Amino acid sequence: MNPVAVIPARYGSKRLPGKPLINLGGKPIIQRVYERVKEAGIFSRVLVATDSEEIVRRVEAFGGEPVLTSPDHRNGTERIAEVAPRIEEDWIVNVQGDEPFVHPQMISDLWESFQRERTAVVGTLCHRISHRRDLWSRNVVKVVSDTQGRALYFSRSPIPYGEAPSDVAEIDGQGPLWYKHVGIYMYRRAFLLRYPMLERSPLEDAEGLEQLRILEHGYEIRVYPTEWETLGIDTEEDLLEARRRCMADAIQLS
C-alpha cells in the first residue's frame, strides 16, 4: 500500500505571515512544495493541511487537495494527526510547507528505507553539515544518532560538543560528527492516532522542536542520511536565497 503525503501549511507564521502564499518564481511557495512532492511518484494522495480558507482556495486553484484543520495546532505533527483518522493508508509522510526545494528522490528514499522498519514509529532524514553558518544557526536543527541510526537528540545548538566545531566542520567541506535535520517525516498512521494524547514535553518547549515530544515519551525515531539538501524558508534571508535559486534555475532552463 502506497503512503499518503500531507503538507502542513499554517498561515500565521510569526516571521513571514502568509508564508505558504508568498510568490516564489511566479508560484506560491505551497504550490512549489506540492509539485515537488507529487514528482516523487509514490503517493496515493497528496493533501495540504491548513488552517486558512485562503490557502484552501489557492490549493484548489492549482488542482491540489486541501484539508481545513483547526487553527489551534502548535506544530505540523499535531495538524497532520488531526487528518490521520480520515486516511486509510498505513503510512503518512509529512513534507513541511516551506520546503520548495525538497528533492523527490529524498522522499522516495525515505519511503524505501522506513517501510522496512520494525520498531521505529517515525523516520526522518539528516544531511552532513559543511558550513559554519549552518552549525551555529538556530534555524538549522542539528541531530545526533546512535550506531543504529536511532535519534538520540535534536537541538538548535551545535551538538555534539567538540573543540572548535565550526572549524572542524569546514575541513574539506566535511563535518564528521555534525548533521542537520532535514524536516521530512514518515509516520506510522497508528502512531499519529496516539500522538494527540501525548502531553507536551519539557525539552520540546525548551527547544521549540516537535520531534522531542516523541523521544521524551519513549518512542523511536529512525534517522537516515541523505545526499540531498533543502532550503527551508524561515526568514527574509531564506526567502531572498530561495528567489536567487529560482532565478538561477530559470536561467539554466532557458
Is 166 found in the same domain as 199?
yes
Does some domain include residue 247? no
Indicate the burial class of 27 (C-beta count within 10 angstroms; 0-12, 13-18, 19 or more): middle
Q: What is the pLDDT of residue 216?
A: 96
* Helix runs in 104-235, H state only: 104-114, 132-136, 165-168, 189-194, 202-207, 211-216
Question: What grid cell was written down for 113?
Answer: 528505507
Q: Name the domain count of the chain.
A: 2
CATH number at residue 167: 3.90.550.10
Is 164 found in the same domain as 117?
yes
Is 160 found in the same domain as 54?
no
Is 212 found in the same domain as 117?
yes
Indicate the range of 5-19, 67-81, 154-168 predicted with least confidence. 154-168
Domain of 224? 113-230
Per-residue model confidence as pLDDT tens digits over 168-225 = 444 445 445 789 999 899 999 999 999 989 999 999 999 999 999 999 999 999 999 9
Q: What is the pLDDT of residue 27?
A: 92
Is 134 found in the same domain as 88?
no
Does some domain include residue 251? no
Question: What grid cell was written down for 93?
Answer: 509522510
Is 128 found in the same domain as 92?
no
- pLDDT band per the 50, 70, 90 thresholds, residue 246: confident
Cα gap 214→103, rounded to integer Å: 26
Last residue of a domain, one of 72, 100, 128: 100
Does some domain include residue 164? yes
Is 157 found in the same domain as 56?
no
Does some domain include residue 9? yes
Question: What grid cell was written down for 101?
Answer: 526545494
Is 117 found in the same domain as 80?
no
Helix (H) or strand (E) holding 143: strand 142-145
Over 90: is that where the pLDDT of 254 sits? no
Over 60: is that where the pLDDT of 165 sits? no
- pLDDT band per the 50, 70, 90 thresholds, residue 145: very high
Does some domain include residue 221? yes
Does some domain include residue 250? no
Radius of gyration over alpha carbons of the chain, in Å? 18
Is 85 found in the same domain as 120?
no
Does some domain include residue 191? yes
Is 152 found in the same domain as 63?
no
Does some domain include residue 246? no
Is 209 found in the same domain as 121?
yes
Is 84 found in the same domain as 120?
no
